[in-house]
Amino acid sequence: MQNRFSYPVDLSEDADGRFLADFPDFAGTATDGVDRAEALVEAADCLEEALARCIADNDDIPSPSPARGRPMASPGALIAAKAALYEALGESGVTKSGLARALDCDEAEVRRMLNPRHATKIARLERALAYLGRRLVVTVEAA
């Protein structure tokens, strides 16, 4: 099974020998690097920004297209957990204030949990996801 927030990256070399990393699932989302390895590292950061933009703009997060032999980029655990909470909240129909009541916290805390720039504790996100019927699963891969 594919990781929900792992996206394929189209890599191409430009005329200067730099590698362009483009995300077909996020229009206008691209980065580059001096070589393939750096382009893929930069792609993970670029993906986090694309996910953060979807959350901030209250847009749907696109489903990843099939890899079809392309390299994949994944966000860090914190932004992936926040994106999962954002999706779960939207799918559940529970409001931010309703989630706050269920978690016995202020609505501002729920807004911070959804804020990609806020360093929310992972246990807090797990609790919110559990209330929404989700379970956070973390995998570790070779870098």
Across 120-143, average pLDDT: 92
- Please say if the pLDDT value at position 140 is more than 90: no
* Residue-wise pLDDT tens digits, 96-115: 999 999 999 999 999 999 99
The whole-angstrom separation of Cα 19 and Cα 103 is 45
- Asked if residues 103 and 112 have their Cβ atoms less than 8 Å apart, the reply is no
The pLDDT-based confidence of 2 (bands split at 50, 70, 90) is low
pTM score, whole prediction: 0.91
- Asked if residues 115 and 51 have their Cβ atoms less than 8 Å apart, the reply is no
- Asked if residues 106 and 99 have their Cβ atoms less than 8 Å apart, the reply is no
Radius of gyration over every alpha carbon of the chain, rounded to an integer in angstroms: 16
Mean pLDDT, the chain, rounded, equals 94
* Residue-wise pLDDT tens digits, 15-34: 999 999 999 999 999 999 99
Share of the chain above pLDDT 90, in %: 92
- What tokens were used for 106? 């202020």
- pLDDT for 1: 39
The whole-angstrom separation of Cα 23 and Cα 90 is 24
The whole-angstrom separation of Cα 112 and Cα 118 is 6
Which position has the token pair 């996801």?
129
Q: Cα 33 to chain center, whole Å?
A: 21
The pLDDT-based confidence of 120 (bands split at 50, 70, 90) is very high
- pLDDT for 142: 78
- pLDDT for 98: 97
Residue 85's nearest CA partner among 53, 113, 119 is 113
Q: Say which residues have a Cβ less than 8 Å from residue 46's Cβ, sequence separation at least 6.
A: 21, 23, 29, 30, 31, 73
